[in-house]
């Protein structure tokens, strides 16, 4: 067995050195955290579902011309991606008030926003990812003006595309978080979409019932996390029939883990 070099372990993913220079393998874990990792848990099978969902969304985005780090899915829990220098900013796009926005400004959850809001947070676990403005980004040189222009532009494109994608399967895209990276080519770099897009970093509500199909089920102790993620995958057409494929995939995954392979 080949031992791969681990580059980084985050809250929900592990990054390994890829097979060729400039590539990385993203391994999706079942670990879940919330409230700046004060709440920790495991959602069995989450990694498998997020790997599939993220592959699907990134592939569709790439088809409409949004540059992304995604190359291909390797297996149930891993995908090959381009190595980038992550911009230390979490970009949150909001269509409907929820979560921290509702708490901070006292706007009732579920209120449709009169226009799409983009917020920036500085990626720093020790500081609890504080909210920042473009002024801070420019002042501390976390990204150039040109890069911020590309980032905001892409965030809006991703939002428009994903809002339609999810509306088509009866899901309201409330808000989501994106991360971007610099892809270097000699002395030049360009901004591409990185990380993942999955129910871990989106708020997805059923359009009819309002049921939450995302990580708020874990954050708010609502239960049924896997079922919710599975429902998103099913509606996206990623399960052959009524969850049968993912059930098999999750069983296989459990079996493999037990064998320690
Ligand atoms: N989000 C995320 N990672 C974070 C913070 C937020 O993926 O570290 C996502 C979250 O899932 C939601 C959106 O960004 O879809 C907005 O989150 P919010 O600011 O409301 O924070 P929360 O209520 O999750 O603390």
Encode pLDDT of 9-47 as tens digits: 999 999 999 999 999 999 999 999 999 999 999 999 999
Report CA-CA distances (Å) from 66 to 26, 86, 125, 151, 198: 20, 17, 28, 11, 17
CATH number, span 85-206: 3.30.470.20
**Is ligand 1 within 6 A of the CB of residue 203?**
yes
- Residue 261 and residue 256: Cα distance in Å, rounded? 6
Is 93 a pocket residue for ligand 1 (Cβ < 6 Å)? no
Which residues does the chain have with pLDDT short of 50? 242-243, 261
Task: Provide the pLDDT for residue 120.
Answer: 99
Q: What is the pLDDT of residue 3?
A: 73
Q: Of 158, 159, 177, which is best to mutate to test ligand 1, by the most ligand atoms within 8 angstroms of its C-beta? A: 177
**What's the CA-to-centroid distance between 190 and ligand 1, angstroms?**
26
Partners of 189 in the beta sheet?
A: 184
Q: What is the pLDDT of the chain when averaged over all its residues?
A: 94
Q: Quote the CA–CA distance of 36 and 234 in Å, as a whole number.
A: 30
* Interval between CA 137 and ligand 1 midpoint (Å): 19
What is the Å distance from ligand 1's center to 241 Cα?
A: 31
In this prediction, residue 261 carries a pLDDT of 46
Alpha helix positions (H), the chain: 46-63, 99-105, 134-140, 145-167, 216-219, 225-235, 244-259
89: closest CA among 9, 17, 33, 143?
143
Q: Is 177 in the pocket of ligand 1 (CB under 6 A)?
A: yes
Residue 176 backbone class (left: φ over 0; alpha: ψ -120 to 50; beta: rest): beta
Q: How far is Cα 146 from Cα 242, in angstroms, rounded to an integer?
A: 45
How high is the pLDDT of residue 101? 98
């Amino acid at each position: 067995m080949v031992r791969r070099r681990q580059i980084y372990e985050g809250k929900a993913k592990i990054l390994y050195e890829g097979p060729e220079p400039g590539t990385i393998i993203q391994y999706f874990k079942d670990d879940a955290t919330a409230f700046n990792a004060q709440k920790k848990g495991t959602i069995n099978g989450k990694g498998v579902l997020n790997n599939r969902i993220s592959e699907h969304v990134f592939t569709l985005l790439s088809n409409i011309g949004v540059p992304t780090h995604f190359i291909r899915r390797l297996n149930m829990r891993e995908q090959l991606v381009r190595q980038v220098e992550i911009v230390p900013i979490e970009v949150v796009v909001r269509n409907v008030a929820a979560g921290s926005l509702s708490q901070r400004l006292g706007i009732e959850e579920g209120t449709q926003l009169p226009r799409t809001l983009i917020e920036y947070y500085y990626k720093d676990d020790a500081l609890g990812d504080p909210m920042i403005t473009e002024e801070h980004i420019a002042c501390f040189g976390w990204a150039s003006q040109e890069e911020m222009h590309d980032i905001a532009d892409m965030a809006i494109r991703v939002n428009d595309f994903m809002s339609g994608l999810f509306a088509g399967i009866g899901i309201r895209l409330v808000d989501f978080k994106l991360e971007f990276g610099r892809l270097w080519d000699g002395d030049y770099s360009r901004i591409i979409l990185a990380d993942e897009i999955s129910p871990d970093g989106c708020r997805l509500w059923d359009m009819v019932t309002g049921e939450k199909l995302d990580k708020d089920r874990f954050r708010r102790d609502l239960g049924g996390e896997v079922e919710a993620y599975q429902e998103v995958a099913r509606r996206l057409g990623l399960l052959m029939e009524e969850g049968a494929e993912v059930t098999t995939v999750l069983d296989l995954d459990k079996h493999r883990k037990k064998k320690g392979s």
